Chains A and B, each alone.
Chain A
Amino acid sequence: MRGKQGSGKRGTTRRRIKPSTVLIAAILGIWGLMILYPFYNVVIVSFMTEKEYVRTAFVLFPKELTLDAYMRVFSNARIWSGYRSTLLIVALGVPFNLFLTVTLAYALSKKSFPGKRFFNFLVVFTMYFSGGVIPLYLLVKDLGLMGSLASVIVTYGVSVYYMIIIKNYFLGIPDSLREAAQIDGANDLVIMLRIYLPMSTPVLATFLLFFLVDRWNSWYEGMLYLTDAKKWPLQLVLREIVATSQKTEPGMAMGLLAKRENFGMGIKMASVVVTMAPIMVAFPFLQKYFMRGMTMGAVKE
């Protein structure tokens, strides 16, 4: 069915591009545009003048561009404090994640040692069962971390899922290297630092990036543990900006009329851009590392 469509038209061209190829490329292209358009819209609205937006909210090419919304976003102290919190969480949290996860992965990648099965079970069990929100909340309270950025940093430590992928990578490093080093008198710590880690730098880079994104995007822990809004990470600040500009939209049923009356929209969109800009700018260059991590997780042998 699919192959037949338009076969007369394109099938006879000199390069012999199959009609089904055209169809597939078209479907994938449209899906790509459907993913891009909402981002384009966000960026456009963030640069639009209030006047033009109020007249027609749906614009593909605005006539006039302005930085008004960005000026107001950057004069908002909350955005700056959000950036500061998020950067602190990333700077302290990512090394914390990497250290705990990689050391565990290395230890559990050793072929056999007394208690290995027990420790392995102890670690993996946490993926299947957890105490849930409230017990963790009470623990954070008991530890006296409530209201401190430390609560957000410390409650995300080992990622068992990433640990397993890193461990599987370590398992692929030939044992003979370990044995040779052992004969030379190296202990497991030296072997980790001198052999395993240097041989895994691309993998470590990949998971550094994964942790970085996880940290950048975290908001839930902050919402639970950070009582003082001045300490909120960027994502949570954004959540609030979005929520407050929605509040001025009275009665969802009147949406059509109501939204025109306020210009939270430009600020809302500029805040979104400011929050996702670092990932958006860096992503095209880093995508291959992320994909490698995902592929490693899928293919074990």
Chain B
Amino acid sequence: MKQLKYTLVLLLCAIISSCSSDNDATTENLTGQKGSIALKFDNGVGDQNFAFNTTYQKSNNESFQLTTDLKYIISNVRFKDQNGNEFAVPEGNNMFIIDQDDANNAGEIFLNLDNINAANYTEITFGIGVDQDKYTQGATGQGNFLTLAQDKGMFWSWASGYKFVRLDGIYTDATTTNGALAVHMGSVGTSLDNYKEVTLTLPNTVLVRTNKSPEIHIKADILKIFDGETSVNFADGYNQVHTDATETPIIAVNMQNMFTVHHVHND
């Protein structure tokens, strides 16, 4: 009977303690620690997973299908921690091409960032494309990115500048069926600057530590490139977007709003 009493009391204690909050309010010393964060870009169209050679509907009874390319450039990735401090991925390692061809079976494109200062991060900021500073520096600081960009067809061949996005496929509107679709919005030197930045709040704090491997799952809604801040129509010429000074900024702003952080994984 006594033992039973003890057991019950112990269990009761356990319950009570589990109900009380369990905060280890120890402030960690993180100086010098470095860790990594994996960004997972997940392209979709509306609430559908993206796949090549699949027809998607957009506004105004128009539809499109991407057949060969879905790529965009992400650069200047930086994070803000819960104290407002910002950490930027170092120059020279901070330009990436998110290429659907690089996606895994689940359609996720990984971007592994190493040597991130250990901290508790609450915000991520990145740029779409290449900023003007890079152009004024010429070849300096672009490292192997120039070669990578050219190989992936993200560099103009007749002007110096990057294609920030590359969508290639076919479209259908009221008058055309399976016409050629090519959206290659980018910057051209200093005369056309379409670089835009995106800041996203993380739904949960991301803890970067030496022994942890957090992931940030970023959802990219390709439909927003056409039906974003501004709805654009293929019938109005948006089936071919290259360096037009009117069309490209509209696409750039649309792209700025196509990213959200769907969720994060810690550990």
Tell me if chain B binds chain A.
no
Residues of A within 8 A of B (CB): none
Residues of B within 8 A of A (CB): none
